[in-house]
Structure 1
């Protein structure tokens, strides 16, 4: 897939927002330059998730930003999203690829080199690797060493996105690590709870240009 589409990867979390506020945040982020959006809302019924995904897709389509659905293959297909992201304890990668077909984007969480290689072989288009820093989104998530991220990038041919506790302040720590192959960073809280989403998005994009160029 296009590596540039993964540069600034927004992963959603509604927190305590109303649906209207949540959608407004996504619209602002897309307008401001996020390159891909993953709808990741764990505490919704199937119908609630489907209805929300339809609304989010209207926004992402308007800005030509790919929409990825977390975990829910059924919702991904129902709303004709650009793709699906699956974690360690979800569908086997090969099964997800078979059902999705060759045209949809398939992202896979890979915290180890072994998982990364298996995912690539089974049809993943990109990998999400982390948590690079402590994160409140997944409070018990083990930290992935930057050295592991570097090794995964060197081992696979598909793009790798760093995730977990990443902010516009700490992504500087990725500079000078010798990492070659990171396509972008996935961000949750630092964008979804930003006081000024437009300014925060631009801060990320400016730093990512320096880090990834």
Structure 2
């Protein structure tokens, strides 16, 4: 599974999920996560359907955050779980797609590894995008997680064009970003800059 630059959509920065997704898809990002905490289920379904159509057009992977039901309803490629969501083994029984999980420690990563397809590790750096975010694990914490599991690790949390190379040097297979693109004056340009750096490290 090739991950690379992993963009998580957000409606908190004056643009819609669809606008941001299309901007990054245009420049070559092929891993998109739909994350939304403030819409009704019906609104989320409508947006997720639009994102599914967009990602199909660009032959890209669509992951839905938290909601297995929504992922099934729109035929998403995958679902991303937190530590407090449905148990990984239960999700694997009912969802035949990519399952990712957020982790904050080596222990959490190792416990989840047998049930999931990729591990998200972070926050690497301090982030304001996620409310109640845990303390940063830093580059050393990220390295420990990468070296402790065989599944692909995606780094997340406070990653931008100034620190992304340090993150990529830890051996991760993907880098997830939100505000570095969504909060940019030119999301398309920012995505392209980050993608070019990621490709230098992760393209064969």
TM-score (norm 1): 0.89
Structure 2 CA distance for partners of 1:18 and 1:135, relative to 1, 3 Å: closer
| Alignment match of 1:15 (pick from 6, 9, 12) | 12
Correspondence 1:70 to 2:69? no
> Could you list the per-position Cα deviations for residues 128-169 of structure 1 after superposition, in whole angstroms to 9, with x for gaps in the alignment?
001111111124312112222111111111100000011112
Match of 1:54 in 2: 49
Match of 1:90 in 2: 85
Equivalent pairs, count: 202
Structure 2 counterparts to residues 1-213 of structure 1, below 5 A: 2=1, 4=2, 6-15=3-12, 17=14, 19=16, 22-101=17-96, 104-121=97-114, 123-141=115-133, 142-174=135-167, 179-180=170-171, 182-212=172-202
Structure 1 spans left out of the alignment, 5+ residues: none
> Could you list the per-position Cα deviations for residues 148-204 of structure 1 after superposition, in whole angstroms to 9, with x for gaps in the alignment?
21111111111000000111122133365xx23x00100001111222222211211
> Could you list the per-position Cα deviations for residues 87-113 of structure 1 after superposition, in whole angstroms to 9, with x for gaps in the alignment?
111111111111103xx0000011111
Provide the aligned C-alpha RMSD in A: 1.6
Contact (CA 8 Å) 1:174, 1:211: kept in 2 or not? no
Contact (CA 8 Å) 1:108, 1:127: kept in 2 or not? yes
Give the superposition deviation at 1:45. Answer: 1.0
TM-score (norm 2): 0.93
